[in-house]
Amino acid sequence: MGRSWKFGDDIDTDAIIPGRFLTIYDPKELASHAFEGTRDEFSKEAKSGDVIIAGRNFGCGSSREHAPLALKGAGIGFVVAKSFARIFYRNAINTGVLPIVCEHTDKIPDGSEVSVNLPEAFIEADKKRYPLEPIPEFMMKIVEAGGLVEYAKMRGNK
């Protein structure tokens, strides 16, 4: 259970983590600058278990793993959006943040208590359930391992 942090369409990677912080690689330190200049309270108030709720094309713009790393450092395990920019989608999985597609994100209010039920493929917000697109098993394994590098280590690939 966590709080929903609502964003609209076309949230680019510069909004998630501004370019001036791209010399930082520590997820916790990146988290302290997440959404700086876009939604300044996020870095101060986000807690582990909170969920990003967004519209279409979340994570568009520059290809940077710093964006999902900043979210991971803030304790965000899931980003639920109507759609994702391809490169963010892949970078999120690679860093251990699960991107989830849901067509009903516009119905989920900002600040509501939300929970994600992956086995049954729904998100619940304010006692209402919204279906999620199923997550392929191999993607779940990568995210559960903590990202692609950790997954490869687990499998013995060095």
- Do 96 and 72 meet the contact criterion of CB atoms below 8 Å apart? yes
pLDDT > 80? residue 47: yes
Domain ranges of the chain: 2-154
pLDDT at 124: 97
Q: Nearest-CA neighbor of 120 among 111, 103, 133?
A: 133
pLDDT > 60? residue 158: no
The CATH number of the structural domain formed by 2-154 is: 3.20.19.10
- Do 27 and 65 meet the contact criterion of CB atoms below 8 Å apart? no
Average pLDDT of 34-59? 97
pLDDT > 70? residue 84: yes
pTM: 0.94
Assign 84 to helix, strand or coil.
strand
pLDDT > 70? residue 2: yes
Q: Nearest-CA neighbor of 18 among 47, 38, 42?
A: 38
